[in-house]
């Protein structure tokens, strides 16, 4: 073992019985050792969500660390990119000169997988708290691997080999704002397998979400609506869900191949600002399989 490995002292505290872990003893930055990065990657695969508390991250730190995990996406919602660092998507209810500086304002943001509507969906996201309200605005995550593994056999058989229809427009109509013409052309409805195999761990997870999955190919709408509802109800049982109550300085890294998330509303008198990077998979691992 190298000298540097001896120096690493990452403490892990699991969050729930099946997923999520708090990692302490590390400061995320753009200058981390390879040993630290390898260990974080392996915990990320194992726990799916990693929480780093008490971080004091510059934009360069956020981007530098994220880039070690994969290529970074410049999000198609260019109206909400950070001015000087477009790798950062701002999530915020703050307005400057009458214009929102970030996505998703202060309302409910329903359950979704980031970019399930793209052929090369994100591998993960890193969300860092910059300004948070005194209450509300918690982010919830669902462990879609365990939800799949414990799914009743009959329901597993029903969806085996099936494709879900994914719509970003549906999500925007419910929780965000409409895309412009160019953004719309890049985000037409597509299909993805309802069950995907994780590109690194090989574990299978449900790949569907109430905010964006609007149908199942080859099954009439009323029937597929009922199947999807059954699946959503199944995934959203308390056993599979973690609620994250933000503190300033939190950085939360999630695995977007096997967790979906939602954000609860908060009082609009308070400001909330989060910086998010979106991490892409290697091209050959892009299409879920
Ligand atoms: C997101 O869905 O990426 C944002 C979640 C949040 O605002 O907590």
Output the CA 159–ligand 1 centroid distance in Å: 28
pLDDT of residue 59: 97
Query: Do the domain assignments include residue 271?
Result: yes
pLDDT of residue 148: 98
Pocket probe mutation, ligand 1, options 66, 104, 273, max atoms within 8 Å of Cβ: 104
Query: Do the domain assignments include residue 156?
Result: yes
Query: Do the domain assignments include residue 288?
Result: no
Query: Do the domain assignments include residue 287?
Result: no
Q: Whose CA is nearest to atom 7 of ligand 1?
A: 263
State mean pLDDT over 4-12: 66
Query: Do the domain assignments include residue 289?
Result: no
pLDDT of residue 2: 35
Q: How confident is the model at residue 284 (pLDDT cuts 50, 70, 90)?
A: low
pLDDT of residue 5: 40
Burial label for 17, CB within 10 Å (0-12, 13-18, 19+), is exposed
Pocket probe mutation, ligand 1, options 133, 139, 262, max atoms within 8 Å of Cβ: 139
- pLDDT tens profile 24-69: 989 999 999 999 999 999 999 999 999 999 999 999 999 999 999 9
Which CATH number belongs to the domain containing residue 155 in this structure?
Answer: 3.60.130.10
Query: Do the domain assignments include residue 99?
Result: yes
Q: Whose CA is nearest to atom 5 of ligand 1?
A: 263
Of ligand 1's atoms, which has the minimum distance to the CA of residue 274?
A: 7
Output the CA 263–ligand 1 centroid distance in Å: 6
Query: Do the domain assignments include residue 15?
Result: yes
139 Cβ below 6 A of ligand 1: yes
Query: Do the domain assignments include residue 114?
Result: yes
Pocket probe mutation, ligand 1, options 261, 262, 264, 271, max atoms within 8 Å of Cβ: 261
Q: Which structural domain, as residue segments, surrounds residue 227?
A: 3-282
Q: How confident is the model at residue 285 (pLDDT cuts 50, 70, 90)?
A: low
Of ligand 1's atoms, which has the minimum distance to the CA of residue 104?
A: 7
- pLDDT tens profile 110-146: 999 999 999 889 999 999 999 999 999 999 999 999 9
244 Cβ below 6 A of ligand 1: no
Q: Whose CA is nearest to atom 6 of ligand 1?
A: 263
Instruction: Give how many domains the chain has, as a whole number.
Output: 1
């Amino acid at each position: 073992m190298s000298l540097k490995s001896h120096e690493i002292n990452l403490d892990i505290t699991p969050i729930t019985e099946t997923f999520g872990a708090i990692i302490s003893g590390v400061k995320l930055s753009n200058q981390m050792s390879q040993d630290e990065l390898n260990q974080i990657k392996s915990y990320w695969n194992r726990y799916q969500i990693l929480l780093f508390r008490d971080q004091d991250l510059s934009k360069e730190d956020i981007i530098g660390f994220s880039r070690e995990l994969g290529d970074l996406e410049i999000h198609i919602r260019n109206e909400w990119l950070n001015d000087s660092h477009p790798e950062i998507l701002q999530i915020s209810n703050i307005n400057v000169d009458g214009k929102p500086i970030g996505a998703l304002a202060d309302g409910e943001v329903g359950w979704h997988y980031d970019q399930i509507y793209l052929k090369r969906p994100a591998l993960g996201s890193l969300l860092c708290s910059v300004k948070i309200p005194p209450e509300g605005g918690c982010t919830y995550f669902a462990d879609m691997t365990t939800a799949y593994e414990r799914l009743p056999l009959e329901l597993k058989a029903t969806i085996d080999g099936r494709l879900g229809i994914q719509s970003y427009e549906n999500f925007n109509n419910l929780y965000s704002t409409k895309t412009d013409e160019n953004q719309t052309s890049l985000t037409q409805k597509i299909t993805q397998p309802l069950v995907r195999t994780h590109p690194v761990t090989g574990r299978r997870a449900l790949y569907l979400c109430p905010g964006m999955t609007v149908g199942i190919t080859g099954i009439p709408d009323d029937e597929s609506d009922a199947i999807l509802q059954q699946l959503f109800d199944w995934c959203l049982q308390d056993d599979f869900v973690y609620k994250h109550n933000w503190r300033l300085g939190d950085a939360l890294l999630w695995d977007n191949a096997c967790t979906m998330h939602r954000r609860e509303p908060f009082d609009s008198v308070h400001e909330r600002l989060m910086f998010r990077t979106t991490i892409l998979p290697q091209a050959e691992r892009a299409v879920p399989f």
